[in-house]
A and B are shown apart, each in its own frame.
Chain A
Amino acid sequence: MLDFGAVALEWGSLLTQAIVFLLLLLAVRKFAMGPIVAVMEKRRQHIESEITTAERSRKEAEALLAEQRRVLDEARLEAKSIIDRATKQASDEAAKIVADAQAAAERLKADASAELAREVEKAKAELRDQMTGLSVLLASKIIEKELDEATQKATVDKFLAQVGDRL
């Protein structure tokens, strides 16, 4: 024991402290540091694996997104081509319908004018017949009994034929 009055170095206290400290060190290492270091290490590994997983998931998601985008673009293109085709088909059909309708109308018109011409011709012939009768009637009224009807008719017919040609 080194003695300086109030301050003394006691070998017994020193040895006690050394032993108690070593025991404390062993106990702390066994009961506190072991578990907490294990837990912290486990968490470190957990976080590390989580980060790796997240990274992998992100890459997968990106690949999937690109795939989706590609498929969507394809679908859009396809839809566009379908619509284009449908539009073209519809307009073609419309044009065909209009052309058909026009052709039918033309035909109807042609039929109608032919009919008309025929009617006109028929009316002319009728008119000519009636005019012949009327002329004979008229002439016979004018000339009275001197002329027999048959001779008169022949004369008038001849005259009217000339008239008809000019008509």
Chain B
Amino acid sequence: MHYSLRFEWLGMVFDISTIIAIVVTALIVLFFCIGMTRNLTSGVPGGRQNVMEWIVDFVTGITKSYIEPKKAAGFVSLALTLFLYIFIGNQLGLLFNVNTAIHNDPVEKQYVSDTVKDMLTLSTTEEAKKEKLAKLEEEINDPHGHGASIGWWKSPTATPSVTFALALVVLLYAHYLGMKKSFGGWLKHTFLNPIHILEEFIIKPLTLPLRLFGNIFAGEVLIAFLLSVGIFGSIPLFLWLGYSVFVGSVQAFIFTTLAMVYISQQVNDQH
């Protein structure tokens, strides 16, 4: 596996490659949305507007199939942003890799600095850090190896932090809507039945992000493996890349659909 640069700030750990992926995906989605909605006409729409209207219709369809029609319009923006962000994020890691290798060079007297080593081996416990550092030292000091490889580019959704963040935004928003609608109703629905406590606080927050993360992460692991195989991996790699595009689209659809289902459970009048 590749190393990634991490740093600690305000007691929280930030992963630089993840943040790059997050920001780039968000910018692509933003520019896509803005670019597609310039020079709009209420007459016969042109090519770009047609595409955007098709996407909006598609997402509105998802929203309306779960949320009561008169409330559905308010959630189309959320569904559209979720869908485009996850869809584009899922495909980004398939496009290319950006890796840099670092190693100690005794001849040129260039050594990997301690700061970088520290960032690459940031861990929760001292033991884990020591273990990682030992492995890293071994890789960067191996005169015949390629050094330690730092990954700069991946799908944001191949990172659990990202999928958990998206899921938490959706679930907290859903609970907020439930509380706003009727606090008593929300309490009764959430806490009266032990199955519901389990569902709301364990099952949903775990399954929603882990399904997305698992699919995309597994896809990228297999791509990395097939790349390392060499020439014999090229045909399976090609097939797997195609399949990954499909998986990425389906997962974006599933995540958006489930988000709308969870919101509908809180806002619809009858369950």
Q: Do A and B come from one complex?
A: yes
Q: Which residues of A come within 8 Å of B, CB atoms?
A: 1-3, 6-18, 20-25, 27-29, 31-33, 35-37, 39-40, 42-43, 46
Chain A residue nearest in CB terms to B123: A3
**B-chain residues with CB within 8 Å of residue A42 when the two chains form the complex:** 42
CA distance A144 to B100 in the complex (A): 189
Distance of B119 from chain A, by nearest CB (Å): 13
Contact B161 A28 (CB under 8 A): no
Distance of A143 from chain B, by nearest CB (Å): 141
Assuming the contacts A16-B14, A18-B169, asked whether A40 and B53 have C-beta atoms less than 8 A apart, the reply is: yes
**A-chain residues with CB within 8 Å of residue B164 when the two chains form the complex:** 9, 14
CA distance A152 to B36 in the complex (A): 153
CA distance A9 to B165 in the complex (A): 10
Scan residues 152-191 of chain B and give those whose CB is less than 8 A from a CB of chain A: 156, 159-162, 164-166, 168-169
Assuming the contacts A21-B85, A32-B34, asked whether A39 and B40 have C-beta atoms less than 8 A apart, the reply is: yes
Majority-rule SS of B interface residues = helix
Contact B14 A29 (CB under 8 A): no
Number of interface residues of B (CB under 8 A): 51
Contact B12 A15 (CB under 8 A): yes
Contact B76 A33 (CB under 8 A): yes
**B-chain residues with CB within 8 Å of residue A36 when the two chains form the complex:** 37, 40, 49, 52-53, 56
Chain B residue nearest in CB terms to A44: B42
Chain B residue nearest in CB terms to A22: B169
**B-chain residues with CB within 8 Å of residue A17 when the two chains form the complex:** 18, 22, 156, 161-162, 165-166
Assuming the contacts A37-B56, A40-B56, asked whether A32 and B36 have C-beta atoms less than 8 A apart, the reply is: yes
Assuming the contacts A17-B156, A23-B26, asked whether A10 and B42 have C-beta atoms less than 8 A apart, the reply is: no
Contact B80 A33 (CB under 8 A): yes
**A-chain residues with CB within 8 Å of residue B73 when the two chains form the complex:** 37
28 A/B residue pairs, CB under 8 Å, sorted by A: A3-B128, A6-B1, A7-B160, A10-B6, A10-B18, A11-B12, A12-B8, A12-B10, A12-B13, A13-B22, A14-B164, A16-B22, A17-B162, A18-B169, A21-B166, A24-B30, A28-B30, A28-B33, A31-B30, A31-B34, A32-B33, A32-B37, A35-B37, A36-B40, A36-B52, A36-B56, A39-B49, A46-B42
Contact A12 B14 (CB under 8 A): yes
Contact A24 B15 (CB under 8 A): no
Confirm or deny: B116 has a beta carbon within 8 angstroms of a beta carbon on chain A: no
Contact B128 A14 (CB under 8 A): no
Distance of A107 from chain B, by nearest CB (Å): 91
CA distance A39 to B38 in the complex (A): 11
Confirm or deny: B65 has a beta carbon within 8 angstroms of a beta carbon on chain A: no
Assuming the contacts A9-B164, A10-B14, A10-B161, asked whether A24 and B26 have C-beta atoms less than 8 A apart, the reply is: yes
Scan residues 73-88 of chain B and give those whose CB is less than 8 A from a CB of chain A: 73, 76-78, 80-81, 84-85
**B-chain residues with CB within 8 Å of residue A12 when the two chains form the complex:** 8-10, 12-15
**A-chain residues with CB within 8 Å of residue B267 when the two chains form the complex:** none
CA distance A159 to B261 in the complex (A): 155
Distance of B202 from chain A, by nearest CB (Å): 16
A1, A11, A13, A39: the one contacting B42 at CB < 8 Å is A39
Chain B residue nearest in CB terms to A46: B42
CA distance A11 to B18 in the complex (A): 12
Beyond A31-B33, A39-B49, 5 additional pairs, beta carbon < 8 A: A1-B13, A12-B12, A17-B18, A36-B56, A40-B53
Contact A15 B165 (CB under 8 A): yes
